[in-house]
Chain A
Amino acid sequence: MSGTLTERLAAARAAGDPNAMAEAIPYARFLDITAALDGDDLVSCMNFNQRIIGNPILPAIHGGTIGGLLETAAILKLLWMQETLRIPKTITITVDYLRSAGPKDTYARANVTKLGARVANVRVFAWQDDPARPVAGANANFMLSPA
């Protein structure tokens, strides 16, 4: 848990441990977002906790935390596949809410549609039981920093 962000990201990459990257981001820890490799690809998971409930009657997870998961999954994916150790800055993000998200773990997978020198475009989907039934999706543009 010590070291600068750059050191921690470098150590995570050297160890091949994407979850150590997630742990370097305070807000990801706050939402209990973990990351794991599925083959070559990165899958993020927001582990369920009562604190992320947005609608206690349904009950459903707060839409804002779903947005936070989507954005974090995109950032972790970019950090994982790039050389840079700087966290990409979000320029725009558009979240589509597709289904209400129940009180359980939520997964997210990001697809980098364009990786430019300065800007990256990423599509992300979040699901709970079945990836074919996403609870939300996002399209985001990030400003990349030189390595």
Chain B
Amino acid sequence: MANDPVTPARRGSKGDPEGKKPPTTEEMLRLISGSTPHSRELGLEVVHSARGMAIMRLPWHERLVGNPDEMVMHGGVVTTLLDSVCGMATMSARQPPERIVTLDLRIDYQRPATPHLDLFARAEVTKMTRTIAFLSAIAYQDDPKDTVALATGTFMFVGKRRKNGGGKKPA
């Protein structure tokens, strides 16, 4: 109680073999994604991340098919990828990453995903207020210009889970 124990952020040296540098945002997002059971189940991975943007990859798998006659991936899978990539981009927008929740996510399907190809998604924070982040995202396969879906998301920051003074700070 009296002494602040080593914070989880400091202990996050798993992705850092030398155990000295604090993890980069990209490493942090990989840890978060890797510790999410459903993302692991899907094989979802963070390909790249920078401040306020992220790219993720979802490997093709037959069990994700929504229409077995056409072997097209189910929309729910695309929703999961886009929700995840928007969440990662939102978390990367603040240092250190904050807890977030999805408020809403709109997806426009532009073409069916081609069977047997991996799906990628790229999300970017387009505007951020103190509590809300607005995002724009695309899902694609080989060519980012040939989009499978467009998405618009709204996320809310729900604090850093600090013990003292929980989130409320005079400007």
Measuring CB to CB, which residues of chain A are less than 8 angstroms from any residue of chain B?
A: 4-6, 24-31, 50-56, 62-65, 67-69, 71-72, 75, 87, 89-97, 100
Contact A67 B105 (CB under 8 A): yes
- If the complex has contacts A27-B65, A71-B75, are A91 and B108 also in contact, measured as CB distance less than 8 A? yes
Contact B105 A94 (CB under 8 A): yes
A147 to chain B, nearest CB (A): 15
- If the complex has contacts A62-B80, A64-B83, A67-B80, are A26 and B112 also in contact, measured as CB distance less than 8 A? no
- If the complex has contacts A4-B69, A5-B69, A51-B37, are A64 and B109 also in contact, measured as CB distance less than 8 A? no
Count residues of B near A (Cβ-Cβ below 8 Å).
35
Distance between Cα atoms of A90 and B67 in the complex (Å):
12
Contact B83 A63 (CB under 8 A): yes
Distance between Cα atoms of A65 and B75 in the complex (Å):
10
Q: Which of B17-25, B96-104, B131-139 contacts A (4 or more CB under 8 A)?
A: B96-104
Which 7 pairs show the lowest CB-CB distances between chains A and B?
A: A68-B76, A64-B80, A67-B79, A27-B74, A62-B38, A94-B106, A53-B37
Contacts of A6 in B (CB 8 A): 69
Contact A68 B77 (CB under 8 A): yes
Contact A64 B38 (CB under 8 A): yes
Chain B residues touching A, majority SS:
mixed
Distance between Cα atoms of A55 and B99 in the complex (Å):
11
6 CB-based A-B contacts, threshold 8 Å:
A26-B63, A27-B66, A27-B73, A63-B105, A71-B76, A94-B105
| Closest partner residue, chain A, to B156 (CB atom) | A97
| Closest partner residue, chain B, to A33 (CB atom) | B76
Distance between Cα atoms of A50 and B37 in the complex (Å):
7
- If the complex has contacts A64-B81, A67-B80, are A90 and B69 also in contact, measured as CB distance less than 8 A? no
B35 at the interface (CB under 8 A from A): yes
- If the complex has contacts A26-B65, A29-B63, A72-B76, are A56 and B37 also in contact, measured as CB distance less than 8 A? yes
Distance between Cα atoms of A29 and B80 in the complex (Å):
16
